[in-house]
């Protein structure tokens, strides 16, 4: 009788990390396409949504956004101007230093983000409902582990 095959782990099988990376990108793109195909009226690209998510946490400087997303300052500055023009962001003078400009979401942007999140959750819920109870349980158990991976990446970035 052959010895049992040991379970795959990321340390014993580097393909797990590669598969996870591909899957995360594929899942994100599929959800984004589905939200847009279903008629979401969020008028910005996915990369702009990332900037809006950062600014949603608290008003911040362009450099803060660039640092958090690991993007060039001029990339964020250009995207920011586009979102100001769309009425999604506003520039505010800092109370303690008038030379500093902080970004803040407009009410319109907050509504778009809320709509996007609700629609994304609905799409994912509908797809999860198609899974077997066992697969749903495995997915639920994987969420804290995936959260640890994300936190580790954010901490070490």
Q: Residue 44: is its pLDDT beyond 70?
A: no
115 within domain boundaries: yes
Closest among 148, 123, 113, 136 to 43, alpha carbons compared: 113
36 inside domain:
no
The answer as to whether 87 is a domain residue is yes
CATH number at residue 86: 1.10.10.10
What phi, psi does 153 have (nearest 5°)? -65, -40
Whole-structure pTM over 0.85, yes or no? no
Neighbouring C-alpha atoms within 13 Å toward the C-beta of 3: 2
For the segment 97-148, what is each residue's pLDDT rounded down to a tens digit?
778 889 999 998 888 888 888 888 999 999 999 999 999 999 999 999 999 9
pLDDT digits (tens, 9 = 90+) for 87-110: 999 998 877 877 888 999 999 888
What's the number of domains the chain is made of? 1
Q: Give CA–CA dist 45/57, Å, rounded.
A: 19
Alpha-carbon distance of 9 to 85, in angstroms, equals 48
Nearest-CA neighbor of 28 among 114, 113, 123? 123
pLDDT over 70 (residue 12) = no
Question: Distances in Å between the alpha carbon of 5 and those of 9, 65, 96?
Answer: 12, 46, 63
Query: What is the extent of the structural domain holding 130?
Result: 43-156
pLDDT value at position 41?
A: 61
**What burial class does residue 120 get, using C-beta atoms within 10 Å of its C-beta: 0-12 exposed, 13-18 middle, 19+ buried?**
middle
Would residue 61 count as lying in a domain?
yes
């Amino acid at each position: 009788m052959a010895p049992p095959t040991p379970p795959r782990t990321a340390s014993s099988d580097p393909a797990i990390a590669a598969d996870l990376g591909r899957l995360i990108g594929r899942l994100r793109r599929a959800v984004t396409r589905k939200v847009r195909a279903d008629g979401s009226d969020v008028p910005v690209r996915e990369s702009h949504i990332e900037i809006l998510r950062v600014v949603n946490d608290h008003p911040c400087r362009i450099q803060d956004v660039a640092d958090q997303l690991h993007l060039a300052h001029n990339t964020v500055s250009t995207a920011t101007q586009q979102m100001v023009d769309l009425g999604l962001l506003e520039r505010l003078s800092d109370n303690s230093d008038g030379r500093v400009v902080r970004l803040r979401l407009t009410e319109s942007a907050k509504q778009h983000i809320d709509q996007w999140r609700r629609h994304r959750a609905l799409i994912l819920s509908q797809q999860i409902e198609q899974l077997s109870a066992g697969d749903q349980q495995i997915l639920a158990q994987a969420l804290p582990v995936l959260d640890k991976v994300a936190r580790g990446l954010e901490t070490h970035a």
